[in-house]
Structure 1
Amino acid sequence: MVLARCYKLKMLLSASMIVLLLVAAISSVILRLVYNIYFHPLAKFPGPWYSSATSLSLALISVRGIELEWLMDLVEKYGTERPIRVTPNMVLSPKPEHLRDIYWDPEFNTKSDTYSSGALGPPTLFTTTDGERHKQLRKALGGSQWTIGSLKKNWEPRLDELIELFIQKMTDHSRADEIIDIGQKVAEFAADFLTIIAFGESWGFVRNGRDERAFLTSWREGLPYFGFSSRWKSFRDHILKNALLAPYFLPSVSDQHGMGFLISHAAQQISLREKKIAESNGEWKMNNPDLLQHCLDARFSDGSPLTYTDKQAHITFLFQAGADTAGTGMGCTLRYLLTHPDALRKARLEIQEADRASKLSQPIRYDESREHLPYFTACIKESLRLAPPAPNLFPRVVPAGGRRLGASYIPAGTDVMVTPYIPQRDADFYAPDPHAYRPGRWLEGGAAREAEMDAVMFTFGMGPRVCIGRDVAYLELWKLLPEVVRRFDFELVDPGRYVNPGGVAYNAGLRVKLTPRPRGG
């Protein structure tokens, strides 16, 4: 009897202890939420109570694919005079003039820990948070191979071949009277060109008319998780940084889809190249080194090569950075042209006039497009303004001593972010029609106004961390798009939509029927 009573007492005490622990945990969470909303150093900034309370709110908004609309609603509600609080420790700076203050300041060059989730694999140029480490990597991996001059010299002829093949395949679809997803087709084109300049050979996206090796699918599958993990701080701190739990949540080379699948492909490419070099006793050389070879040859300032992890991470980064960005830019430009017939008519007329004056090659060369097609250039810029391919958050950490943005003082340690979608739709800067697709705005104010708008274009970032592959995207945008408009008429079947799952966008369902145009027509 005594033992039974002791057992019951022990059970009651155990149950009481569990209840106490639960009450303590819940109380701790409630106190943290109350502190974040009312007593945190950022409590003075405007913003929704739920996102000020926990970063989980922003993570869920990102997963739902409504982040950009939500941020724009905040700007319309709270205005642009003060930064807007979007998580307990992050504010959005919505004014275009603050871009330079944040992204050009060398003391503002530390990225937020939102980049350190590991959801994209090991640290790269993009995800390295420390500014000094980034400088070292940029110096080792950067170089003339990324500039438009070098790209034109070394890769434009290969791009011309791919464009002709693309035109041939689109003509075949037209003859078969097929409806195609042109947004997906230009994304596959961009992926094909990426594999050419990255690995020296095409993977066959255009030739075979499909997403080879599930390249684009794997990238897109991983985006919602990337957005979720980079935005929810508690998940990063307590799960992804836990040695026991992290392997269950981070990408692995054994994965058959998502980011891990891309990492495994990167490892395969490195192994194949290093095997080729080893079999030649180190004598094998490329006449025109691809980006993989530049990565393998890269050296830090002390002469040391990249580690294997660095090599694998940055080859994966080539996949990630180029997977959909150029393709999204091309697809969005086509969508805007097809849904704005007057803009398409003007762009086509400009191409025809340049053709009649014998100013355009076949395919159109990059320099010809930039020099002789100013309106088409404006169409591309206006599309990148309204539909940036990577509308991510890009937060930086306020350095010691804090910083003042306009009239607002931001405490040290705060994450300050800008997403291209907001300043590129600024109601004052692009008045009176910031949300309208109007390419003519780039031509109306002369060179000074165009330069002013270029200075706040954040599509590919700015400052010392500007996108290293920006000119690769420019080369494709200014060559393929005018050539497609020159060669085909379009019947729009479905405009599709611009999708943003986790901070990187792509096009879904831009369906058309094509009709070849007569030469010079």
Structure 2
Amino acid sequence: MASFVTPALFPWLIAAFLVGYAVRTYYSYQKLSHFKGPPVAAVSSFWLAWQAVNARMPVAQKEALRRYGSPARIGPSLLVTDDPELLRHMSAPRSKWTRAAWYDGMKLDPRVNNIFSERDERRHAEMRSKMIGAYSGKEVETLESDIDENLQRLLTLIKQEYNGKPLDMALLASYFTLDVLSQIAFGDAFGFVQANEDLYDFNKLANEKFSIIELIVNHDFPRKLIQSQLMQKLMAPKGTDKFGQGRITGIAQKAVAERYRPNAKIKRDMLGHFIAKGLSQTQSEAESQLQIIAGSDSTAGALRITMMMLVGNPVAYGRLVADVDQAIVDGKISYPIVRYSEALEIEFLTACIWEGIRLYPPLFGLQSKLAPPEGETVNGVYYPPGTQVAFCCEGVGRRRDIFGEDADLYRPDRWLHPDPKLLRNFDWALADPVKGAISIAHGIWVQEKMMLVAWPRRI
């Protein structure tokens, strides 16, 4: 059979492809041409990919916002903002903006969406209503006692193994949060602190793959490729793996299966809440993975940030120690582990945590929202259909018009009797994306406050 494509047609086909590509690129460029940003970002995703590969995404977003203004264009159809008012508008209950395709990359279990990856607003609201009690910690009766138990293990480890010796507190913070969240999730800690080692090379592999994961999640083609059935079979972490995320997944699946057996013991932990609310076994497995994999990184990040900032600021550290010592003298702190309600009374502790999180928010990714099909004008700025707007939390926390000219400095005092507008803007900007995604904010606060009171007393 004669071929319909002769060699003479190849140049015309190539020319047609190039013309089509040029027209599409020009149209894409024009759609958001009224927004400024890195020039290459207007016509390709190269800028975004380069920042991900070099682990500069939060810093690069902040630099773009300061140079080009907010919102800044960082992709052909992608903007980034640090404007609390725009962020509030996009996430309002009756907003026409929806979750963009970035959230598809947060689907950790190929069988079902979790509360973070679910993009359908109606289904997400239904899931949230069922799970909010567990993720906020309000319906988990053992929350504080689980943290107490694991914090005591950590303090014992430090006393026995690192008395007068250097230690990697960043790694121990990760061990601690992994143990706490696993115990909160399904009743048993993984045992990272007790073993005092990176079990299953979980942290090692996660750190090595982080840039690649961010690159995949931020771009449609690699994300769809990795999430295809073929690639899921070949490359996705599996419960039978001996290392990394797959090993954690396997432990979660086994723990969930035990609790879904007939006549299984009823517990008032996170998994017990899911079961009581009628979640399927598959859905509970997906949520348990999310709690461990996403929640542990956020919580450990918050702990590391606050400790690093305090160590580098002798004045703030000295004041925190003095306030803790005074609370001890006044009989306001329990021994050996402080109660969360007692930690709440140490005002400067809260200020130290807020200030650390303001400078280095423990949040991951673009968390972009998609403009309505008809487009929308917000505060006099038109966002065409198909526009995605990403969230730069670090940019919000360092806005000089909100926090002053010293916005890049660690100064906890700014949170002592702050301007109500300042607190409203940052409280929303930090807390709402977390609550809307996995609602671990309460768990972060409980762990941070209790650990940071114990830290000056023991270390």
Distance in 2, matches of 1:381 and 1:98, equals 22
Q: 2:433 maps to which residue? A: 461
What is the aligned partner in structure 2 of residue 142 from structure 1? 132
Deviation of the 1:393 alpha carbon = 1.4
The counterpart of 1:195, out of the listed 169, 179, 182, is 182
Is the Cα–Cα contact under 8 Å of residues 393 and 417 in structure 1 kept in the other structure?
yes
Q: Quote the offset at 1:92 in angstroms.
A: 1.4
Deviation track 1:107-133 (CA, whole Å, cap 9, x = no partner) reads: 346210111136633321001111111
- Whether contact under 8 Å (2:396, 2:426) holds in the other structure is no
In the alignment, what sits opposite 1:223? 210
Give the alignment partner of residue 410 of structure 1, picking from 359, 372, 383.
Answer: 383
The 3-state SS of whatever aligns with 2:377 is strand
Instruction: Tell me the residue number matched to 1:480.
Output: 451
For 1:333, the aligned partner's letter is T
Deviation at 1:320, TM superposition (A): 1.9
The structural deviation recorded for 1:450 is 6.2
Relative to structure 1, the CA distance from residue 16 to residue 364 in structure 2 (aligned partners, 3 Å threshold; closer, same or farther) is farther
Q: Cα deviations across residues 292-330 of structure 1 (Å, max 9, x unaligned)?
A: 23333432xxxxx42x44233222112222221111101
The separation in 2 between residues aligned to 1:203 and 1:285, in whole angstroms, is: 20
Distance 1:156 1:410 in 2: 45
Take 1:158 and 1:312, find their aligned partners in 2: how far apart are those partners?
Answer: 20
Structure with bigger gyration radius: 1
Work out the CA distance in 1 between the residues paired with 2:245 and 2:199: 15
Deviation at 1:251, TM superposition (A): 4.3
1:505: which partner in 2?
none
CA RMSD of aligned residues (A): 2.9
Q: Alpha-carbon deviations, 1:180-229, whole Å to 9, x = none?
A: 11011111111111111112122211112122333434444443233112
- SS of residue paired to 2:412: coil
The alpha-carbon deviation at position 369 of structure 1 amounts to 0.9
C-alpha distance in 1 between matches for 2:7 and 2:210: 42
* 1:47 aligned residue: 37
Do 1:84 and 1:91's aligned partners in 2 also have CA atoms closer than 8 Å? yes
Q: What displacement does 1:438 show?
A: 0.5
Q: Please state how far the C-alpha of 1:138 moved relative to its aligned partner.
A: 1.4
Matches within 5 A, 1:12-161: 21=13, 24-37=16-29, 39=30, 41-80=31-70, 83-108=71-96, 110-117=98-105, 120-122=108-110, 123-143=113-133, 145-147=134-136, 149-151=138-140, 153-161=141-149
Which of 392, 396, 403 is the matching residue for 1:430? 403
SS in 2 for 1:142: helix
**1:265 pairs with 2:251:** yes
User: Partner residue of 1:365?
Assistant: 339
Q: Aligned-pair distance for 1:410? A: 1.1
Residue identity (%): 23
Residue in structure 1 matched with residue 350 of structure 2 by the alignment: 377
Pairing of 1:244-255 with structure 2 (within 5 A): 244=230, 247-248=233-234, 250-253=236-239, 255=241
Secondary structure of the residue aligned to 1:92 is: strand
The alignment status of 1:285 with 2:268, answered yes or no, reads no
For the 8 Å contact 2:327–2:333, the answer to whether it is kept is yes
SS in 1 for 2:79: strand
Matching of residue 186 in structure 1 with residue 173 in structure 2:
yes
Distance 1:220 1:273 in 2: 32
Alignment length (residue pairs) = 456
Q: Establish whether residue 445 from structure 1 lines up as the match of residue 424 from structure 2.
A: no
Q: Which residue of 1 aligns with 2:157?
A: 169
Alignment partners' CA distance in 2, 1:131 and 1:318 = 21
Q: Distance in 1 between matches of 2:238 and 2:46?
A: 25
Q: 1:339 aligns with which of 306, 309, 312?
A: 312
What secondary structure sits across from 1:422 in the alignment? helix
Structure 1 residue 35 displacement after superposition = 3.2
The CA distance in 1 between the partners of 2:9 and 2:258, in whole Å, is: 59
Q: Which stretch shows the higher mean deviation, 415-424 or 251-260?
A: 251-260
Unaligned runs of 5+ in 1: 1-9, 300-304, 489-521
SS at match of 1:429: helix
Deviates more, 1:120-129 or 1:425-434: 120-129
Partners of 1:107 and 1:349 lie apart in 2 by: 46
TM-score normalised by structure 1 residue count: 0.80
> Is 1:120–1:226's contact at 8 Å kept on the other side of the alignment?
no
Cα distance, 1:57–1:16 mapped onto 2, change above 3 Å:
farther
**Range with bigger deviation, 64-73 or 207-216:** 207-216
Residues 25-45 of structure 1 deviation map (CA, whole Å, 9 limit, x = unaligned): 4554444333322x3x21221
CA distance in 2: counterparts of 1:87 and 1:209, whole angstroms:
43
Instruction: Deviation per CA, 1:383-402: give whole Å up to 9, x if none.
Output: 01111111421111122443
State the alpha-carbon separation in 1 of the partners of residues 227 and 292 from structure 2.
Answer: 25
Normalization by structure 2: what TM-score?
A: 0.90
SS for the counterpart of 1:58 is helix
Contact between 2:178 and 2:296, CA under 8 Å: does it hold in 1?
yes
Q: Distance between the aligned counterparts of 1:138 and 1:445, measured in 2?
A: 31
* 8 Å Cα contact 1:321/1:469 also seen in 2: no
Give the Cα separation in 2 of the matches to 1:236 and 1:156: 38
Q: Secondary structure at the match of 1:46?
A: coil
CA distance in 2, matches of 1:148, 1:266: 19
CA contact (8 A) 2:36 2:69 kept: no
Q: Could you tell me which of 372, 376, 382 is aligned with 1:399?
A: 372
Inter-partner Cα distance in structure 2 for 1:459 and 1:218: 29
Question: Would the alpha carbon gap of residues 236 and 462 (structure 1) be closer, same or farther in structure 2, given more than 3 Å must change?
Answer: closer
Task: Give matches, 1:202-241, under 5 Å.
Answer: 202-237=189-224, 239-240=225-226
Q: What is the one-letter code of the residue matched to 1:264? A: G
Deviation of residue 168 (structure 1)?
1.5
Change in CA separation of 1:354 and 1:150 when aligned onto 2, cut-off 3 Å? farther
Tell me, yes or no, if the aligned pair for 2:218 and 2:366 is still in contact at 8 Å. no
| Residues 154 and 268 of structure 1, relative CA distance in 2, 3 Å threshold | closer
Provide, for residues 235-275 of structure 1, a one-character-per-residue CA deviation record: whole Å limited to 9, x for no partner.
335x346555564465444555554444333323223333x
